[in-house]
Amino acid sequence: MPPGSLTSVGIGDDAAVVTAPSGSVVAAVDMVIEGRHFRRDWSTAYDVGVKAAARSLADIAAMGAVNTALLVALAAPGSLPARWATDLADGLAAEATRAGAGIVGGDTARADSITISVTALGDLEGRAPVLRSGTHPGDVIAVSAPLGRSAAGLALLTAAVPVPDSAPLSALVTAHVRPAPRYEAGPEAARLGATAMIDTSDGLLSDLAHIAAASAVRLNIETPALPAAPALREAAANLLPADLAADPGSSGPRNEDRAAELVREWMLTGGEDHTLVATFPPGTPLPPGWQVIGEVLLGTGVTVDGTPHPGPAGWQHFR
Amino acid sequence: MPPGSLTSVGIGDDAAVVTAPSGSVVAAVDMVIEGRHFRRDWSTAYDVGVKAAARSLADIAAMGAVNTALLVALAAPGSLPARWATDLADGLAAEATRAGAGIVGGDTARADSITISVTALGDLEGRAPVLRSGTHPGDVIAVSAPLGRSAAGLALLTAAVPVPDSAPLSALVTAHVRPAPRYEAGPEAARLGATAMIDTSDGLLSDLAHIAAASAVRLNIETPALPAAPALREAAANLLPADLAADPGSSGPRNEDRAAELVREWMLTGGEDHTLVATFPPGTPLPPGWQVIGEVLLGTGVTVDGTPHPGPAGWQHFR
């Protein structure tokens, strides 16, 4: 595995030594577990490695830090093919490299099921961390990338209906099994003066609720402003016919309404996109890739077009 | 859980921020898994927390660094009692505190069995890390504490024979389920000029073999110099009668020889003591607690009283 450029002692001793140029280190740990975060019939081992790395790497980016190093603990059954483990390592290393980090430590042990625990380390380059608690009424809310991709991909995977073999739909499935967060948007937001930030691991509304609580404000989302990932409408249209089969009287227009609603739900509550959502002082010029989706107000909680969102705000993992 | 004095952002945001005063961070990850590293009928949840923390904390000490922070990932069945998880957290926090560290991050998820992954972070206080590769012929080998405790405790737990309820024997069992490494010996050894260091997680011979290989030297152990933990002889004497029951002709003296041999094996190959073993330039004055056990020679591998050790050098976990 590639050591990061900031590693002075890598794998092979009792511990790694990673330089921390700005005198502090940012650290986060996250797990992926077979049957809960991935299925071996849907994801390759390489995919699982990418997803396991991305979850932790995105947490570092959400602090406004650059990633420097990963440490990986793998618990797996003795029956796991050696090839699966090396492919997993390749996926972890590839995603670490994409984020500018190296894999510097690891541990493996036998267990009944596959659990991958990834600790990511990062550096703030001298900046203050962007916390969840720093936003104020008047700030704008913006996202670093389109929303709903992973949720749509999961819906396609779980659908009982045959889905056309189209490139845009395949891209959604890929986004679910192998997320590709835009990590550099984290330090970019910090440099732009972001006042709060989080990544959408549990779903936009659910994650925004953490910022609302930590900052003691209300966050209002304007749904017309939400940037849908490409092909969400196509995915929804392909999923709905089976859904409506029990109601043969349904008409075309009604189907279109329901497709729009499904897309909206994916964007508001779908998890695992690892899109960054940040708040900025009003008037902050945002570079390409960022999209304003709402504003920070006096009050508490999260509202959608001015009203509370009905139904669960959060992401339900597939078990 | 207590945040360490070096933590500027702890649990509750996307990631923690830990100060790294000397411009680098030492990091190691280790796992403990139910059925492999602990059994719930032998260990309380608090014990498991202590052991899980100790494994990673000892790796940081073995680099000559002081511990600053832990991140913990817990995968467990939904049926796990809430009390078990809080007791586990108490054990983790207590051992972290004993090592001078705080628990700064965590993740929990459902899984079929209990897996606890602990990442430890440390600081070198401006010193170079003590690697496995730095020793030379002429150096002495020393250990930071008595040996064989954990192996004897495990033998008592697994014994089919009834073991007397004696305080010294109970202390051995406690040492197995709840190790208490002398973490401060790591930075102490570094300040004394240690040339190589490791902790005895897999067993003295097995861990010394890593130093021998990394430093391209031979390490010779003198068994009369090995510091036995208290009560090892008593433990061996209590375990042997059952062992010899199939050989009623055995006499007293022969039993004593076998007890001495069992003690010797526990010290040479027993794992999980997390005693530090380090090499020092000849003539280095070693403070109390350290015991010279051998010397570094030209050659390769590890020898015991000048000859290779028969049998397995390493620690067999109990599955």
Give the residue, B254 or A227, on which the prediction is more confident. A227
Burial B58-88 (b: 16+ CB within 10 A, else e): bbbbbbbbbbbbbbbbbbbeeebeeebbebb
pLDDT at B30: 96
pLDDT at A162: 77
List the single residue in B16, B63, B119 with the smallest CB-CB distance to A71: B119
Q: Is the pLDDT of residue B64 over 90?
A: yes
Q: Which residues of A touch B65 (CB under 8 A)?
A: 15
pLDDT band with cut points at 50, 70 and 90 for residue B116: very high
Give the residue, A43 or B319, on which the prediction is more confident. A43
Residue B307 makes CB contacts below 8 A (sequence gap 6+) with none
Asked if A106 contacts A16 with a C-beta cutoff of 8 angstroms, the reply is no
Q: Is the pLDDT of residue A241 over 80?
A: no
Q: Alpha-carbon torsion B255, B258, B262, B268, what sign?
A: positive
Subunit contact B105:A8, Cβ cutoff 8 A: no
pLDDT band with cut points at 50, 70 and 90 for residue A152: very high
In this prediction, what percent of chain B has a pLDDT beyond 90?
Answer: 80
pLDDT at B21: 86
Subunit contact B28:A214, Cβ cutoff 8 A: no
Separation CA A280–CA A189 (nearest Å): 8
A175 CB burial (10 A radius; 0-12, 13-18, 19+): buried
Lowest mean pLDDT: which of B174-178, B239-243, B288-292?
A: B239-243
Residue B292 makes CB contacts below 8 A (sequence gap 6+) with B140, B141, B142, B225, B286
* Pairing relationship of beta strands A276-280 and B24-33 according to DSSP bridges: unpaired
* Pairing relationship of beta strands B140-143 and B291-297 according to DSSP bridges: antiparallel
pLDDT at B4: 56
Give the residue, B309 or A131, on which the prediction is more confident. A131
Burial B183-210 (b: 16+ CB within 10 A, else e): bbbbbbbbebebbbbbbbbbbbbbbbbb
Closest CA to A72 of A42, A96, A107: A107
pLDDT band with cut points at 50, 70 and 90 for residue B83: very high
pLDDT at B319: 38
Q: How large is the average pLDDT for residues B263-278?
A: 95
Averaged pLDDT of chain B? 91
Closest CA to A291 of A203, A211, A218, A189: A189
Q: How large is the average pLDDT for residues A270-298?
A: 96
Separation CA A115–CA A226 (nearest Å): 34
List the structure tokens of B12: 């509750």
Asked if A103 contacts A140 with a C-beta cutoff of 8 angstroms, the reply is no
Separation CA B71–CA A58 (nearest Å): 17
Q: Which amino acid is at A255?
A: N
Q: Is the pLDDT of residue A56 over 60?
A: yes
Distance from CA of B22 to the nearest CA of A (A): 7
Query: Which runs of consecutive H residues, i.e. helices, occur in chain B?
Result: 45-61, 82-98, 149-158, 167-177, 185-191, 204-215, 232-244, 252-269
Averaged pLDDT of chain A? 91
pTM above 0.90, yes or no: yes
Subunit contact B105:A29, Cβ cutoff 8 A: yes
Q: Which residue has the tokens 């990631």?
A: B15
Distance from CA of A32 to the nearest CA of B (A): 8
pLDDT at B310: 79
pLDDT at B115: 96
SS3 state at B88 = helix
pLDDT at B227: 95
pLDDT at A3: 47
Subunit contact B115:A111, Cβ cutoff 8 A: yes
